[in-house]
Amino acid sequence: MKTFIQLAAMLGLVAATEEEASTKLTAAAKEGIELRTALGAKDHGEATSNLSKLTTEAARVPALVVELEGFRKERSTREDTERKSHVDAVVLAMALPEEQRARVTASLTLHAKTDWAGFQREYPMPSAEELGQRAQDGGRLERAPRSQKRAAPADVGAGPGADDLVEAATLLVEEHAARGEKLSFSEAIEMLTDTMPSTQTAEDDGK
C-alpha cells in the first residue's frame, strides 16, 4: 500500500512527512472538486471536455475584440459624417456671408458633437427645395428668418427629400476628395439640384 508521501509525489506534491502529504492531498482533492463544479462537470472526462471548449472560446476573444473595435470605429465615422452633413446643410440654408460661415460652422459643429439630439431639435434639416435654392443663390439672398428656417419641409413633389439630397451631396464631396479634387458642400448641392426639375417650371406647366 502506497503511503501518503508516495501518493503526493505521484501528483507532483512534495511533502516531508505523512501528515504534510495527507494535508496536501486533501487540499488537492478539494480544489479538483471545486474546479469540476465550476466547469459543470460530473466527472474528470466531462471536466476535461468543458475545459477544452472554454479554451477554444477564449482563443476567439482577441479576434472578437478587434471586430468590435472595427464596428465601433465604423459607427463613429458614420455618425461624424451624418453630423457634418447636417451642419453643412444648416449653414447653407442660413445663406450667411462668406466671412461668417467658418465661425458659425465651428460653433454648430461643437454643438452637434456635444448634444446631437439637442442640435437636431434646435436646427432641423432644411428642406430639399430650400437647400437647392440656397446653393443656386450662392449666398446672395438674405438670411432666412428663424421661423422660416424651422418650418416643416415644403412639399417638393416627386423630387428627393432633404435627407436624400444631403446624403448624395456628401457622397459627391467624398468622391471628389478621393480624387484629390476640392468640392464644397454647397457646390455639390448645386450640381445635384441642377438636374432636378424646378418647382416653378412644374407649376407653369400645370397652368
Q: Which of 113, 93, 49, 71 is CA-nearest to residue 186?
A: 93
Indicate whether 142 belongs to any domain: yes
Residue 31's Cβ-side half-sphere holds a number of Cα atoms within 13 Å equal to: 6
Indicate whether 161 belongs to any domain: yes
Q: List the grid coordinates of 143.
A: 438670411
Indicate whether 139 belongs to any domain: yes
Indicate whether 86 belongs to any domain: yes
The yes-or-no verdict on residue 59 having pLDDT over 50 is yes
Look up residue 67 and give its amino acid: E
Q: List the grid coordinates of 65.
A: 475584440
Give the other-Cβ count within 10 Å of 5's Cβ.
20
Q: Looking at residues 182-206, what average pLDDT do you find?
A: 62
Q: What percent of the chain has pLDDT over 70?
A: 80
Pinpoint the alpha helices (H) of 95-127: 98-114, 116-122
Indicate whether 41 belongs to any domain: no
pLDDT at 2: 75
In terms of residue numbers, what domain contains 182? 77-200
Angle at 170 between CA 124 and CA 164, to 5 degrees: 55
Q: Looking at residues 150-156, what average pLDDT do you find?
A: 39
Indicate whether 136 belongs to any domain: yes
Indicate whether 87 belongs to any domain: yes
What band does 160 get if pLDDT is binned at 50, 70 and 90?
A: low
Q: List the grid coordinates of 125.
A: 434639416
Q: List the grid coordinates of 114.
A: 456635444
Over residues 22-35, the pLDDT tens digits come to 898 898 888 888 88
Q: What separation, in Å, do the N-terminal and C-terminal C-alpha atoms of the chain show?
A: 113
d(CA 93, CA 44): 72
What band does 196 get if pLDDT is binned at 50, 70 and 90?
A: low
Q: How many domains does the chain have?
A: 1
Indicate whether 30 belongs to any domain: no
Q: Looking at residues 65-91, what average pLDDT do you find?
A: 88
Pinpoint the alpha helices (H) of the chain: 4-10, 18-38, 44-94, 98-114, 116-122, 128-137, 146-149, 162-178, 185-193, 199-206
Over residues 85-126, the pLDDT tens digits come to 899 888 888 887 888 888 888 888 888 888 999 989 988 988
What band does 141 get if pLDDT is binned at 50, 70 and 90?
A: very low
d(CA 109, CA 86): 9
d(CA 121, CA 142): 23
What band does 197 get if pLDDT is binned at 50, 70 and 90?
A: low
pTM: 0.45
